[in-house]
Structure 1
Amino acid sequence: MVNGMHIHEERKAHYYERGHWQTRTVYETFLKAVQSNPTQVAVIDPYRSITYEQLRTFSTEIANGFLVKGLKKGDVVSVQLPNWIEYVAIYLACTKIGVIFTPIPVNATAKEVANMFTISRPALHISARHFRKKAYEPMLNEVAHSVKLPDVYLLEQEGESVQDRRFLPFHLLPVDKNMDAPDVHADDHLVILFTSGTESLPKGVVHTHNTVLFGEKAMQKALHITEDDRVFMASPLSHATGFLHAVNLPLITGATSVLMDHFQGEKAVRVIERQKCTFSMGAATFVHDILKAIQQQGNPGALSTLRFFLCGGAPIPRHLVDEAKENGFRLLSVYGASESPPHAISCLHDSEEWVSQTDGQVLEGIDAKVVGDDRKSLATDEIGELATRGPNVFIGYYNDPSLTRQYLDERGWYYSGDLGTLDSDRYVRVVGRKKDMIIRGGQNISPVEVENLLLQHASIKEVALVGVPDERMGEKACAFITLNPNGTFTYEMMVTYLEEQNVAKYKWPEYIELVPELARTASGKIQKFRLLEQWKTKIV
């Protein structure tokens, strides 16, 4: 047991007995794909491509460099890189020698990076020197004011050079010496995934080789992913979505990962079309922008190779599901968390109506239940907190055993904080977060219910319902709304619309705020606590 984290021995035996867990590590699984088709293109980023055999060589060199530097099994390497090939190679190097890989979002601030360093205590850090408008040398100097920096390597792009002598260029990592790799086991710590911070400061979620491999193999089976597939990924690889489904899933399948380091709808359409991508995953906002670009280009057949696009993190508006189908691909729901990824997904045969009404069916091998405040199971279709237990569930929060005990019980159940229902066919419906639930004068208002209704209005592009403090009622609801082009929406229009939808009056938002955009994480999730901060600032 390390840092309060452990694998429940009874569950461990059960997972091995069922074949859910095996002795093969991520790197060994990757090598199997290399041996099967060494010349297959493994990764394509905006600048180049690399085959499976070339990726094996590159990652081996980096692993040797880490060992020469003195890194040991169980040490932490943090990485703050865009969606580039080097990110994938560094990850594989870590898996080869038992170093814990810790991705950090490229847009994380100095304060956020310092917090992540404090939690993970990396022995070595690798980042870009510069990406888009962000320079990382001055940011890291700012981090150094609050925490001790590990050894830092900066990845330079053409024409760049590292200026600060405390930092080393990545190309100077000593890679030309063959080193003996330590023994790595499938139950060893693989990665620390920082949560996306939709509520508060990120938490360091720890997964093993086995928890990651089970989840990705379950998704591969459910979606019929093969070595012929090409996944398009614009979500950051630092987030669970990108890390799991654009790095691990293709690498263990022998498929190809097509990476985009900065999302733009028109550019995404061109990349998907040119690279013949077969599926993707990300926030519904990505789909909205892609469909808008197709419409502007007048090219409805542009995505003829795309089979489906998985959306998670927020409800999928029905009109978006229909528009995607009109353009030749399907939208599917996926539900999970960094702690339990993925544990529900739409079936390929589900109807469009069902996709927009549910968040997927619980994957085979994963247990799910809905519980009340006492954590006792509730009846089918009754709203409560969603909990899961399975071979995909994390083993704890890094360096935080007390937080681990809050969310992960001694029987292996993870309590998500999400409110929802579970039907007799194990389909999940998420209705909101426990912390998001608005309590207005003692009556509970589910934000998701009202948001879904408002999203059907022709003028509304996006909406987030937030509880704002009220002296008399405790809380009132405020709808933060972004509009479609040429759309108009007023409070009076909202009242008329909700009356027509027969929505109970206590559920109507008392306020609306029309905003140019909603505060989001790098992966596209809406940050309601940021919207509440905006409200409080405005009131003051």
Structure 2
Amino acid sequence: MKQYQKDYSTYEALEGWEKASIGQQLRNWAKRYQDQVAVADEKEKITYRELNEKADSMAFGFLEMGIQPGDKVVVQLPNRISFVKTLFALIRAGAVPILALPAHREAELEGIIKLAKPAAYIVAEKYLGYDYLPMARKLKKNFDCLKAVIVDGEQKVDFLLDHVMGESRQLPEVDPYEPAVFLLSGGTTGIPKLIPRTHADYMYNARMSAKRCQLKEESVYLASLPVAHNFPLCCPGLLGTLDAGGKVILSATTSPDDILSLISEEKVTITALVPAMVTVCMELLQWDEDYDISSLKILQVGGAVLEDSLADKINEEWPDRLMQVFGTAEGLLCFTSMEDEKEVVARCQGKPISPADEVKIVDEYGFEVAVGEYGELLSRGPYTIDGYYMADEANQNSFTEDGFYKTGDRATWTKEGNIRMGGRLKEQINRAGEKIMPAEVEAFLCKHEHIKEAAVVGVPDKELGNRICAFLMTEEDAELSLSEVHRYLKREGIATYKMPDQVEQVEVWPLTSVGKIDKKVLVQMAQGKKDERENAQ
């Protein structure tokens, strides 16, 4: 099958579309906003003018170092101003950053390097107690393509990031329809796939997100998730906020105390969190009255399905702030609107951000489903990719012949024309031939008066193929037995085959690198608990 290729010229008449590089966008922002603060972290702040000048100086330094236009560079930096300067400097030099998360380790990085053959690796010396230098030295030794390891810190491998600067020179011309960055897929198995986002499509992504969020120069965006991730980078995130002339605050960690303190101190107006982080922040607010979140106008929640009960709780305790988000690093973004009624915001993930987004929800045979029926969400449009980088097999599986990206997410249309998500299709549990979607069971469990949060997983089982295990976080550590859960679900009218075979209680969730509940770890925990009980007998 010949790979579909998008024609970017068909989108050039769209409001918000601009055929310009991200490096040029920064130059425009510096002229427009000059000495306004662009970005601040726990140690320093930088104005638009200073960020533009630093990006030039570092770009000259990267070119002097031998990084060529078109070279790929792995960037693994936490939420610091050094990340922002490095991102813009590499783009200005014509190089393409591959944005790794701080939590990535050798397994992921080796796969990325084998595939992309980057010319350099830029990494923090230490972050949250982890020393990256032994790993960096090993990668440099094992991969000849890595000409330089550049360290953000005090101990160097080849170069220190602080010393990267050079004499003024002509910067290379950059094609706005070529990749500006490579994002990494958030798949649950294997090595992350490389997602090429072009200058024009990614800035359109940021600009339309900022428009939906009504960002302006007075806006203050808190990046509490890792800023190398698509959600805080461009939805509207760092890029959308800078395009609007606002200020970006970088949180060093995802600690709820850090998040709430920064909202209070910096008068943050918008931030993005995943559901598990929202729950912890709300609990902290209940017993500590020193935080002041009155400045917060928008709380974006996405990255995982937001249970109806938690959405209602947010609306009750943080009125008029919730904005539900569904997004993919591959492209499509759906937000609820500031004008939506609370009841609408609590029950859907809104509409696509662009009028040019093409969205279909289809059944297993590829036919579109009726309103209210669930199917797989497919998308095509100005900022949705038409293929992963050097991944023929993945592209055959993930894209239709006419260029629609198969998200792998279950969704339905509401009667108002909004999208409501129903979980990942890959998470579907096949129990003795019956198909169960975890999100459906989780929604019922979260209605129980003693259950704060629930996560349902399929666990390999010799007799059933997969058994259903429900992990519960309860109010005040209330104990709920399997039989009690069954009685409750029976009263709710849920089918018998969807009832859990195993119930486990947790005090804290295992989380992924971006704060989502790590269901792979939950499967291992469920198997371990069952083995413990069998051995005890």
- Higher mean C-alpha deviation, range 138-147 or range 180-189: 138-147
Q: How does 1:361-440 map to 2 (within 5 A)?
A: 361-363=351-353, 364-423=355-414, 425-440=416-431
The answer on 1:313 being equivalent to 2:307 is no
Q: Give the secondary-structure state (helix, strand or coil) at the position aligned to 1:451.
A: helix
Runs of 4+ in 1 over 6 A off after TM superposition: none
Counterpart position of 1:294: 285
What is the distance in 1 between the residues matched to 2:142 and 2:368? 45
**Structure 1 residue 146 displacement after superposition:** 5.1
Letter in 1 for 2:366: R
For the aligned residue pairs, the C-alpha RMSD in angstroms reads: 2.2
Counterpart position of 2:535: none
CA displacement 1:50-107 (0-9 Å, x = unmatched): 1100111111111111111122221111111110001011111122232111111112
Higher relative contact order (CA 8 A, sep 6+): 1
* Equivalent position to 2:161, from 153, 159, 170: 170
**Cα–Cα, structure 1 residues 419 and 317, in superposed 2: closer, same or farther, change >3 Å?**
closer
Counterpart position of 2:188: 198
**Cα–Cα, structure 1 residues 448 and 146, in superposed 2: closer, same or farther, change >3 Å?**
farther
**Structure 1 residue 538 displacement after superposition:** 5.1
**Cα–Cα, structure 1 residues 136 and 6, in superposed 2: closer, same or farther, change >3 Å?**
farther
Q: Give the secondary-structure state (helix, strand or coil) at the position aligned to 2:206.
A: helix
What is the distance in 2 between the residues matched to 1:487 and 1:362? 40
Letter in 2 for 1:397: Y
CA displacement 1:322-367 (0-9 Å, x = unmatched): 443434551221001111242x111112233322221222233211
The answer on 1:152 being equivalent to 2:146 is no
Counterpart position of 1:208: 198
Counterpart position of 1:75: 71
Counterpart position of 1:24: 20
- Higher mean C-alpha deviation, range 270-279 or range 464-473: 464-473
**Structure 1 residue 216 displacement after superposition:** 1.5
Residues 30 and 52 in structure 2, CA contact (< 8 A), matched pair in contact too: yes
Q: How does 1:48-447 map to 2 (within 5 A)?
A: 48-144=44-140, 147-148=143-144, 149-156=146-153, 160-162=154-156, 166-173=157-164, 175-244=165-234, 245-299=236-290, 302-325=292-315, 326-328=317-319, 330-342=321-333, 344-363=334-353, 364-423=355-414, 425-447=416-438
Counterpart position of 2:497: 506
Residues 483 and 514 in structure 1, CA contact (< 8 A), matched pair in contact too: yes
**Structure 1 residue 299 displacement after superposition:** 4.7
Please, what TM-score do these two structures have when normalized by structure 2? 0.92
Residues 461 and 484 in structure 1, CA contact (< 8 A), matched pair in contact too: yes
- Higher mean C-alpha deviation, range 345-354 or range 456-465: 456-465
Letter in 2 for 1:8: K
Q: Give the secondary-structure state (helix, strand or coil) at the position aligned to 1:154.
A: strand
**Cα–Cα, structure 1 residues 410 and 214, in superposed 2: closer, same or farther, change >3 Å?**
farther
What is the distance in 2 between the residues matched to 1:458 and 1:202? 39
**Structure 1 residue 522 displacement after superposition:** 1.3
The answer on 1:493 being equivalent to 2:489 is no
Counterpart position of 1:40: 36
Letter in 1 for 2:520: F
**For this pair of structures, how many residues does the alignment match?**
526
Q: Give the secondary-structure state (helix, strand or coil) at the position aligned to 2:427.
A: coil
Residues 18 and 204 in structure 2, CA contact (< 8 A), matched pair in contact too: no
Residues 183 and 195 in structure 2, CA contact (< 8 A), matched pair in contact too: yes
Residues 4 and 403 in structure 2, CA contact (< 8 A), matched pair in contact too: no
Q: Sequence identity of aligned pairs in percent?
A: 26
Letter in 2 for 1:525: K
- Higher mean C-alpha deviation, range 473-482 or range 256-265: 473-482
**Cα–Cα, structure 1 residues 61 and 458, in superposed 2: closer, same or farther, change >3 Å?**
farther
Residues 291 and 323 in structure 1, CA contact (< 8 A), matched pair in contact too: no
**Structure 1 residue 452 displacement after superposition:** 1.4
The answer on 1:8 being equivalent to 2:2 is no
Letter in 1 for 2:24: E
Please, what TM-score do these two structures have when normalized by structure 1? 0.92
CA displacement 1:430-458 (0-9 Å, x = unmatched): 11222111122322211111111212334
Counterpart position of 2:514: 523
**Structure 1 residue 286 displacement after superposition:** 2.1
Q: Structure 2 stretches of 5 or more lacking a match?
A: 532-537
What is the distance in 2 between the residues matched to 1:349 and 1:260? 29
* Equivalent position to 2:444, from 434, 438, 453: 453
Residues 220 and 249 in structure 2, CA contact (< 8 A), matched pair in contact too: yes
**Cα–Cα, structure 1 residues 39 and 172, in superposed 2: closer, same or farther, change >3 Å?**
closer
Letter in 1 for 2:327: G
CA displacement 1:293-335 (0-9 Å, x = unmatched): 22212257x1111001111122323443344343455122100
**Structure 1 residue 19 displacement after superposition:** 4.9
CA displacement 1:186-210 (0-9 Å, x = unmatched): 1011111112233443111111012
Residues 184 and 192 in structure 2, CA contact (< 8 A), matched pair in contact too: yes
Q: Structure 1 stretches of 5 or more lacking a match?
A: none
What is the distance in 2 between the residues matched to 1:107 and 1:217? 28
What is the distance in 2 between the residues matched to 1:532 and 1:230? 39
**Cα–Cα, structure 1 residues 459 and 142, in superposed 2: closer, same or farther, change >3 Å?**
farther
**Structure 1 residue 129 displacement after superposition:** 0.7
What is the distance in 1 between the residues matched to 2:190 and 2:520? 8
Residues 309 and 446 in structure 2, CA contact (< 8 A), matched pair in contact too: no
What is the distance in 2 between the residues matched to 1:378 and 1:247? 36
Q: Give the secondary-structure state (helix, strand or coil) at the position aligned to 2:221.
A: strand
**Structure 1 residue 43 displacement after superposition:** 0.4
Q: Give the secondary-structure state (helix, strand or coil) at the position aligned to 2:12.
A: helix
What is the distance in 2 between the residues matched to 1:341 and 1:94? 26
Residues 112 and 191 in structure 2, CA contact (< 8 A), matched pair in contact too: no
